[in-house]
């Protein structure tokens, strides 16, 4: 069985490049198509030109060309996988080639984060980046929190790593179209500390579970309606994962999941949240799911504690 985690990429025998979308792959690799060879493409790898596909276009392409691979994500049969790309693989080469990646790596190494616990994903992973590409940086397990603190400290120095300016924050907000106000969005985002600018390029610090944190797949539940809750967060260790996981103290809901990056790290352990989403019955428990569509309407998570709206 292929071992692949979120943020890994796979390349198929057709040279299609997919981003891995899960920690578990019972019937094939769960992923989403990102790049396809195309003579009119604007990126190049190993002598092939590639075109990047956004989420909706990728699904259209797959429904036309591999409909049997289309479910909630794309399911690639293991015998069609040519290679698995791991975020840590290109780091040694990129450190010598890209000053933006080197700047982030140097900060993390100074914070005693092992180089094998860091990597890059997105276009940098297969080598399809260009000058406009964002830097999607990966850190594994609890080292992520050390990395986040190190980046926050680096932003306060006169160096290559800087805070996001107001114009970029508006771009991010307008791209995500969340169900909370811009003012609330900014208040939550600036506290998270996992975004910044490096050499004038936007970068994200993305969490991926260590192998020891991967316990078992999330079983699919039965949708039983929608609900808005207020609840105290009792465990936020995986709040920056995908999906984000918030254990809560609530009469009906056991935990809140967010499948949208907007609400990753939205609340800390001990805080009271307000969340609205779809209720799933999974065995004896109910969970509240936020991000049930690409741009979820009527679904959100906000920290009432952070907003000063707690009794």
Return the CATH number at 165: 3.30.460
Instruction: Tell whether 101 is covered by a domain.
Output: yes
What distance lies between CA 148 and its chain's CA centroid? 15
User: Is there a single domain that holds both residue 104 and residue 198?
Assistant: yes
Residue 296 is predicted with a pLDDT of: 67
Q: What is the pTM of this model?
A: 0.90
Q: Give the Cα separation of 268 and 188 in Å (integer).
A: 11
Domain boundary among 49, 65, 85: 85
User: Is there a single domain that holds both residue 241 and residue 140?
Assistant: no
Residue 309 is predicted with a pLDDT of: 78
User: Is there a single domain that holds both residue 41 and residue 134?
Assistant: no
Range of the domain at 303: 222-307
Residue 220 is predicted with a pLDDT of: 79
Residue 207 is predicted with a pLDDT of: 96
Domain CATH code at residue 243: 2.40.50.140
Residue 14 is predicted with a pLDDT of: 95
User: Is there a single domain that holds both residue 32 and residue 73?
Assistant: yes
Residue 222 is predicted with a pLDDT of: 84
Domain boundary among 85, 111, 128: 85
Instruction: Tell whether 213 is covered by a domain.
Output: no
User: Is there a single domain that holds both residue 14 and residue 64?
Assistant: yes
Residue found by looking up tokens 């500390």 in the block: 193
User: Is there a single domain that holds both residue 161 and residue 105?
Assistant: yes
Could you tell me which of 125, 132, 134 has the C-alpha nearest to residue 19?
125
User: Is there a single domain that holds both residue 66 and residue 128?
Assistant: no
Q: Give the Cα separation of 307 and 61 in Å (integer).
A: 42
Could you tell me which of 238, 244, 248, 251 has the C-alpha nearest to residue 290?
244
Residue 112, phi-psi category: left (phi > 0), alpha (psi -120 to 50), beta (remainder)? left
Instruction: Tell whether 127 is covered by a domain.
Output: yes
Instruction: Tell whether 288 is covered by a domain.
Output: yes
User: Is there a single domain that holds both residue 190 and residue 260?
Assistant: no
**pLDDT in single tens digits along all 311 residues of the chain:** 788 999 999 999 999 999 999 999 988 999 999 999 999 888 998 889 999 999 889 999 999 999 999 998 999 999 999 999 999 999 999 999 999 999 999 999 999 999 999 999 999 999 999 888 899 999 999 999 999 999 999 999 888 899 999 999 999 999 888 889 999 999 999 999 999 999 889 999 999 999 999 987 777 788 889 999 999 999 999 999 999 999 999 999 999 999 988 999 999 999 999 999 999 998 899 999 998 766 668 899 999 999 997 66
Domain boundary among 157, 178, 208: 208
Instruction: Tell whether 203 is covered by a domain.
Output: yes
Residue 238 is predicted with a pLDDT of: 94
Residue 3 is predicted with a pLDDT of: 87
Tokens of 270: 């001990």
Instruction: Tell whether 94 is covered by a domain.
Output: yes
Q: What is the rounded (10 degree) CA torsion for 105, 110, 116, 117?
A: -90
Instruction: Tell whether 2 is covered by a domain.
Output: no
Residue 140 is predicted with a pLDDT of: 96
Residue 115 is predicted with a pLDDT of: 94
Instruction: Tell whether 1 is covered by a domain.
Output: no
């Amino acid at each position: 069985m292929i071992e692949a985690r979120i943020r890994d990429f796979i390349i198929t025998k057709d040279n299609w490049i997919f981003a891995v979308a899960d920690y578990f792959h019972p019937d094939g690799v769960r992923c989403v198509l990102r790049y396809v060879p195309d003579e009119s493409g604007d990126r190049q790898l190993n002598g092939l030109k590639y075109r990047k596909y956004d989420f909706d276009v990728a699904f259209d392409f797959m429904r036309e060309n591999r409909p049997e691979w289309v479910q909630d994500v794309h399911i690639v049969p293991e015998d069609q996988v040519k290679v698995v790309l791991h975020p840590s693989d290109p780091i040694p080469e990129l450190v010598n080639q890209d000053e933006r990646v080197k700047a982030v790596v140097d900060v993390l190494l100074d914070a005693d984060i092992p180089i094998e616990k860091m990597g890059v994903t997105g276009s940098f992973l297969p080598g399809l980046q260009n000058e406009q590409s964002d830097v999607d940086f990966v850190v594994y397990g609890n080292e992520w929190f050390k990395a986040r603190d190190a980046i926050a400290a680096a932003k306060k120095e006169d160096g290559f790593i800087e805070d996001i300016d107001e114009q970029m924050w508006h771009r991010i907000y307008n791209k995500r179209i969340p169900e909370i106000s811009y003012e609330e969005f900014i208040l939550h985002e600036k506290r998270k500390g996992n975004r910044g600018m490096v050499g004038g390029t936007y970068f994200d610090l993305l969490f991926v579970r260590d192998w020891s944190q991967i316990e078992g797949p999330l079983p699919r539940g039965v949708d039983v309606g929608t609900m808005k809750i207020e609840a105290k967060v009792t465990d936020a260790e995986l709040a920056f994962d995908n999906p984000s996981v918030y254990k809560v103290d609530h009469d009906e809901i056991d935990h809140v999941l967010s499948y949208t990056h907007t609400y990753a790290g939205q609340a800390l352990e001990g805080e009271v949240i307000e969340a609205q989403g779809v209720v799933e019955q999974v065995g004896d428990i109910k969970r509240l799911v936020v991000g049930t569509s690409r741009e979820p309407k009527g679904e959100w998570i906000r920290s009432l504690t952070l907003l000063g709206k707690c009794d």
